[in-house]
Structure 1
């Protein structure tokens, strides 16, 4: 008993120390030398994420590599210098994220020259003013005793390629189409890429309980409202017939004669993770809201941060789950969700994000919706 108590105290002290150093700013223990060591662990410029620790590592070197890798160019020297300062701040931020989230890898991504505010404005887009209606249909409780240990809809052909929303806060539309693509696959046996641009241009569905809270193109929206629009409008066109432009300045070009998928019904899934898994396996990929604070610096691995807010600001697609991935600190296997994102295949693990189950981390269990499709000819 005494040894167990001592272990608990030691673990608590370690976590407290990590929190203090993670939120203390740039002056982490050990100064610049310690920062350099940690940066070596989190910066991703090598093949498969590997880093040559014998190479000269400094902010200038990383910024030059970052510009080459992601094709970055700036119009003026003033803009270049400002982006370099933002990049340096984000390298320090990646170090802090690595401490708080040691089972993932954090480092340089295509978003490393953006401030957190710019990142939220350009690449997120769950409209926080919108919330699930109080009368939202609840998904029926499903049996969970025979769930597979691991499951991934990519292995069953129900997930389209990773798409890229660009600098438009339209993540909600990609989450919506991803869920309906999977549901349509289950109904028809065919995987068809559906049009996010139709939702961006044509969907202005509003929350009846909150005035002026509507789906708003690149300014954000909500997946359940988009399902409601799709149900009322008759369905969604294919991507090839209504291609994505990444802007909400165009007129609605919806053509009813080219509908490729129709919504039969949709419902909200319980916060219970076994019910989420059961609905995923039975009904196809699920539309999910998440807090994306750790995603700006995410490179790979299973994200399992010690602490993460549950305020939802990003729409993604839940496509599967895994039985366990090693989480250091906690010293045990942790099951995780497999998330399809909409920032292109060069982000994260080929466009995917893994986040551990168990504590509704980053609100991943808070807004989960399932949709059923009508069989169409």
Structure 2
């Protein structure tokens, strides 16, 4: 990164000037739009995402937040087009919320508990064998290898921790059996009494629970917490679709170990800081220079890696 900056100070200055001009232009273009044009875009967005509001005042507030987010997204994508960002954003269903509102509903990961996981081995691959850390592939995509189920939606429930838990086990169950089964997040949301359902939870505890009880398939225990409510545990009598004997916690903050595990083991459960426009992510490699590793961000499953120039 420093080499690129010092290699061409004139080019960097030009990019900064163009970026500044783009920001000014974006602000001016938004303020010059007619009300009817903005209303048309607003109405089309509401229709696309099935948005409705309980009062005129609530809709006005939502419209204000939507405009502010539209500007952030527009500026970010301009920076992306100029090569200043590594991922692209879009005006999606969260555009009428502040980040604080988004976080309160969807970021259900809680700080790590001390559990009885196995200590991290120095090197391990999907078959449990040793691997040389320096001899890793540049690119891995476990979706292409059959380890990853289709994208799921937690809706208005802070259950990302449960989706991350099942994502990791789904991959390892496929590795062991050759059979990809979508596992039940609702089982964890309803039944793991050491977590808080839609109010958040811990992946480590989720793994501990499934190690003791086994995991039911999503077909037999479907997701029903779309509106943020837990339900009575209903796992009794259901067939167990996948089991696990152990899980491993990687060293905190060690990206080399994460890279090695992602390359060799399969999808890995991760937590990230989502304060860098993560809620509007569309494509590319998510990166934020404002990342705070102390924040308990959303849980997901890292399903591959790609070499990115530093």
TM range (shorter): 0.7 to 0.9
1:64/1:144 Cα in 2 relative to 1: closer, same or farther (>3 Å)?
same
Distance 2:264 2:271 in 1: 20
Distance 1:12 1:138 in 2: 45
Q: CA RMSD, aligned part only?
A: 3.2
User: Cα 1:77–1:156, aligned 2, differ >3 Å: closer, same or farther?
Assistant: same
1:314-373 CA-to-partner distances (Å, cap 9, x unmatched) read 00000001124xxxxxxxx35xxxxxxxxxxxxxxxxxxxxxxxxxxxxxxxxxxxxxxx
Are 1:321 and 2:296 matched, yes or no?
A: no
Query: Aligned partners of 1:180, 1:4: CA distance in 2, in Å?
Result: 41
Identify the residue that residue 235 of structure 1 maps to in structure 2: 214
Asked if 2 retains the 8 angstrom alpha-carbon contact of 1:194 and 1:260, the reply is: yes
239, 245, 252: which one pairs with 2:233? Answer: 252
Match of 1:106 in 2: 89
Is 1:280 aligned to 2:262, yes or no? yes
Q: CA deviation at 1:305?
A: 2.9
How far residue 278 of structure 1 moved from its aligned partner, in angstroms, is 2.5
Query: Residue in 1 aligned with 2:71?
Result: 92
More relative contact order in 1 or in 2 (CA 8 Å, sep 6+)? 2
Tell me by how many angstroms 1:204 deviates: 1.9
SS in 2 for 1:166: coil
Relative to structure 1, the CA distance from residue 255 to residue 88 in structure 2 (aligned partners, 3 Å threshold; closer, same or farther) is same
Partner residue of 1:166 out of 132, 141, 155: 155
Note the alpha carbon deviations across 1:13-51, whole angstroms, 9 max, x for none: 789999xx9xxxxxx8788634256x7xxxxxxxxxxxx
Is residue 290 of structure 2 the alignment partner of residue 307 of structure 1? yes
| 1:96-116 residue CA offsets vs partner (Å, 9 max, x unmatched) | 545596232223111001121
Cα 1:36–1:319, aligned 2, differ >3 Å: closer, same or farther? farther
TM-score, normalised to structure 1, is 0.67
In the other structure, the counterpart of 1:290 is 272
Closer/same/farther in 2, CA of residues 183 and 33 from structure 1, 3 Å limit: same
Equivalent pairs counted in the alignment come to: 287
CA distance in 2, matches of 1:223, 1:134: 10
- 2:273–2:298: 8 Å Cα contact kept in structure 1? yes
- Distance (Å, rounded) in 2 between the aligned partners of 1:34 and 1:278: 42
TM-score w.r.t. length of structure 2: 0.81
* Structural mapping, 1:323-338, within 5 Å: 323-324=307-308, 333=309
| Structure with the larger helix share | 2
1:372 counterpart residue number: none
Contact 2:115 2:205 in 1 (8 A): no
How has the CA–CA distance of structure 1 residues 192 and 58 changed in structure 2, closer, same or farther, with 3 Å as cutoff? same
Work out which of the residue numbers 96, 108, 125 in structure 2 matches 1:125: 108
Q: CA deviation at 1:301?
A: 2.2
Contact 1:291/1:309, CA 8 A, preserved across alignment: yes
Q: Which runs of 5+ in 2 are unaligned?
A: 124-131
Indicate conservation of the 8 Å contact 1:35/1:95, yes or no.
no
1-structure distance, mates of 2:122, 2:188: 30
- Is the Cα contact below 8 Å between 2:117 and 2:247 reproduced in 1? no
Match of 1:218 in 2: 198
Residue 176 of structure 1 is aligned with which of 149, 165, 174? 165
My pick for the range that moved more, 163-172 or 95-104, is 95-104
SS in 1 for 2:248: strand
Q: Larger strand proportion, structure 1 or 2?
A: 1
Q: Which residue of 1 aligns with 2:119?
A: 138
Measured in 2, the distance between the counterparts of 1:286 and 1:200 equals 20
User: Per the alignment, do residues 4 and 189 of structure 1 end up closer, same or farther by CA in structure 2, a change over 3 Å counting?
Assistant: closer
1:200 corresponds to which of 183, 189, 200? 189
Deviation at 1:312, TM superposition (A): 2.6
Change (3 A) 1:283 1:104: closer
The CA distance in 2 between the partners of 1:312 and 1:264, in whole Å, is 27
